[in-house]
Amino acid sequence: MMIVTTTSFAQYKLLLIASAVSSQEAKLVSLDWLAEGQSWSESKSLAPLKKRHNLCDEDFKFIDKNSLSKEKPVDTLLLTTITQLDQYLAGERQQFDMTLDWSLGTPFQQSVWRALQQIPYGQTISYAQLAQNIGKPTAYRAVANANGKNPFSIIIPCHRVVASDGSLGGYTGGLDKKRLLLDIEQN
């Protein structure tokens, strides 16, 4: 069972999905932006999860963040994630500390996501530099594609990667959100 909740982040809305690994442990499965007026059940994050884990709609349970319980590991993980996101937004946190489920990514994508976590807070690098960082200097397009498939927006800082000319490049959540995240880290 995947537990789903939403939270506000500045003027935007985030979708968080977690699952129990055992009765004592949970992992964050996805963190994604919702478009204005978009329901959690309409999120593009659900399709890859359904396919990867052989799930159907009934395998996702929405719990309002105010109804999450600190008695359940999955709920506790979601509450911790929300707290850390609030701290990040307030400029009080530079790194996140939660268990992530990397299983949506191929080994190559996972190597890119791990390299993203090495980019220091408040700094940016180019897609070409990221490709060099993983030892595949000619794979900048594949790196950019893996960057776009990152299931943990904000937590794995794909927003810190920009085009070689210094322009923002792309961002799955939209350039307005990428600008917001970079502005948070610059202040």
Question: What span, in angstroms and rounded, lies between the C-alpha atoms of 113 and 181?
Answer: 17
DSSP 8-state assignment for residue 18: E
Q: Yes or no: say if 111 and 134 are a contact pair by the CB < 8 Å rule.
A: yes
Of 172, 163, 128, 5, nearest to 75 by C-alpha is: 5
CA 151/CA 156 separation, integer angstroms: 8
158 is catalytic: yes
End-to-end CA distance of the chain: 39
The one-character DSSP state at 152 is B
How is residue 111 written in tokens? 């190597």
β partners of residue 105:
none
Q: Per the residue annotation, which of 4, 158, 180, 181 is the catalytic one?
A: 158
CA dist 101 and 66 (Å) reads 24
Tokens 């408040």 sit at which residue? 122
Q: Which residues are catalytic?
A: 158
